[in-house]
Structure 1
Amino acid sequence: MGSRTHVMVIPFPIQGHINPMLQFAKRLASKGISVTLVTTTSASKSMQVQASSVRIEVISDGFNEGDKADYSDAYFEHFKAAVSQSLGELIEKQNSSACPPKVLVYDSAMPWALDVARRLGLYGASFFTQTCSVSSIYYHVHHGSLKTPTVDSMVSLPSMPLLSTNDLPSFVYEMGSYPALFNIVLMQFSNFEKADWIFFNTFDKLEEKVVNWMASQWPIKIIGPTIPSMYLDKRLKDDKDYSLSLFKPDAAACMNWLNNKQIGSVVYVSFGSLANLGEEQMEELAYGLMRSNNYFLWVVRASEESKLPSNLKAETSEKGLVVNWCPQLEVLSHQAVGCFMTHCGWNSTLEALSLGVPMVAIPQWDGSNNKCKVCCGCVASWGSSEGE
């Protein structure tokens, strides 16, 4: 046991960051590496954990009483102080074990974790859960080569196609929206060049020019798409799901409903774990689905249900199913699903691309606009290269 390499992996404690980093951890474990996924007390309270090859350790994030994250500057400062301390204590404890950790893979949203790793003698690897394209834009903003707020209608950046203002992440063209989160995405680049490795959850053919530009300057590694192996390369026979969820999926209801539908007849609608649509937008979407005369499966988080028209479920009982959460990979891989209406969250986008499900993109915030452009541009380039 003492000769095995031990890697610690710590994601920011939200579903969209936990999923890809846990998948990466499982891949490492499949190679005989001892892997520990570090999560926080507040996230652990709502976790649905299944058996996995990865050990899970829980540390304090300063919100042990279950206080809801408001993503303010004060929240992030408190989170940083608490996690820096408790992570350091965990590493010190593990350092005296038979298999001490050698590497800390940390979420790029937590750049200060590199300081903890270096102080305690570990290598550090920054893990970016977003695209290289979005990261490149934020890098240029952080280093001043892309000024904000943007005044030009078109923006030119190295290795990227000409971008309109609307192709930029919402944090860039809507200055003042989510200022604390904007600061977090910029601070990813405060010390990332000091990391021993920089991992990106993407694949080179999707954004080849940007990948090549970044690789020419920094020690980046492309490790995506990080989705369960049985939905991708099928190398890991027991890797059928993410093994961990902050939400409770209504799997039986979803799959039983889909099993009774014809091939390609269902529109699957989901806007992920964070995006919040306005009440008017929810109503328009609801009536659009109702009048489309198509079957639809719509994921509406419990916190968003009050925005639905009161008559939706009654009037669509034969055509539609509305659930609070679902096993998305199972749904997307089901033969009844013919279309995915998505907010363009990066995990959802990679899942749809990997499973070959057509997408209707409704970008919401952060880098969703640019992720949409990346996918459209990639599909266009693949089509043109094949003469289609």
Structure 2
Amino acid sequence: MAGAAPHVMVLPFPAQGHVTPLMELSHRLVDHGLQVTFVCTEPIRKLLLDALAHGGEALDGIRLVFVPDGLADGDSHRDLGKVLAGVLGRVPGYVEELIRATGASGEKKVQWPVAEATMACCFQVARNLGVRVASVCPSSAACLVTSLRIPQLRLIIVENNLD
């Protein structure tokens, strides 16, 4: 079995502006002695590997795993609705398989999925396996606060007939 370093699984939303900050976080986790498995979707593979080949940080200590994004052949990756449906519908199943496989393979079991808030769909899967979760929001604080206040904003719109 791998050493005593805690094993975390980092789960960014599969878009470059989301992957880059979580890859940076992964490097800092490795710097602090953690074992990191970075999970991203297949369509991001080329972008990520190209960035690393053209001066990005090396993957020292970071294991890359690519999973399908759940889109059907021919579906456009520019259609955000389809991307969201595919990723949110299919990626949790792959995450479950990966967590189970790490424990079964003799590799140190994933102890902490660290997922971008957009990937919270993976949290219940992890909890069902007895694994704690951590959420990260790489966007600005203003964006996070606005997102968290959408229900209240909708209520204000309805109550004041602003729709």
Q: Please give the range of the TM-score, normalised by the shorter of the 2 chains.
A: 0.7 to 0.9
**Which amino acid is 1:133 matched to?**
A
Pairing of 1:140-179 with structure 2 (within 5 A): 140-143=149-152, 147-148=156-157
The yes-or-no answer on 1:91 pairing with 2:93 is no
More helix by share: 2
Aligned CA-pair RMSD: 2.6
1:328-339 mapped onto 2 (5 Å cutoff): none
Contact in 1 for aligned 2:39/2:67 (Cα 8 Å): yes
Match of 2:134, SS state, is strand
Tell me the equivalent position of 2:22. 21
> CA 1:132–1:149 in structure 2 vs 1: closer, same or farther (change >3 Å)?
farther
Unpaired segments ≥5 residues, structure 2 = none
Q: How many pairs were matched up? A: 152
5+ residue gaps, structure 1, are: 152-172, 176-388
Whole-angstrom CA distance in 2 between matches of 1:148 and 1:130: 25
Q: List structure 1 runs of 4+ shifted beyond 3 angstroms.
A: 63-67, 143-146, 148-151
TM-score (norm 2): 0.80
Question: Structure 1: which amino acid aligns with 2:141?
Answer: C
Task: Indicate yes or no: 2:51 matched with 1:43.
Answer: no
- Asked if the contact 1:42–1:67 (Cα under 8 Å) also holds between the matched residues in 2, the reply is no
Given that 1:38 and 1:59 are in contact with CA atoms closer than 8 Å, whether structure 2 keeps it comes out as yes
Rounded Cα–Cα distance in structure 2 between residues aligned with 1:31 and 1:125? 17
* CA deviation map 1:151-182 (0-9, x unaligned): 7xxxxxxxxxxxxxxxxxxxxx9x8xxxxxxx
Query: Per the alignment, do residues 135 and 35 of structure 1 end up closer, same or farther by CA in structure 2, a change over 3 Å counting?
Result: same
Q: Secondary structure at the match of 2:133?
A: strand
Q: 1:127 aligned to 2:136? A: yes
Aligned AA for 2:98? L
Larger Rg: 1
Q: Write the deviation string for residues 28-65 of structure 1: whole angstroms up to 9, x where unpaired.
A: 10111101110111211443134312211111212375
TM-score by length of 1: 0.36
The answer (yes or no) to whether the contact 1:11–1:38 under 8 Å persists in 2 is yes
Q: Equivalent residues in 2 for 1:1-388 (5 A)? A: 1-47=2-48, 48=50, 49-50=52-53, 51-53=58-60, 54-63=62-71, 65=73, 67-69=75-77, 70-72=79-81, 74-96=82-104, 97-143=106-152, 147-148=156-157
Distance 1:63 1:140, change over 3 A: closer
Q: Which has the higher contact order (CA 8 A, sep 6+)?
A: 2
Distance 1:16 1:150, change over 3 A: farther
Question: Sequence identity of aligned pairs in percent?
Answer: 27
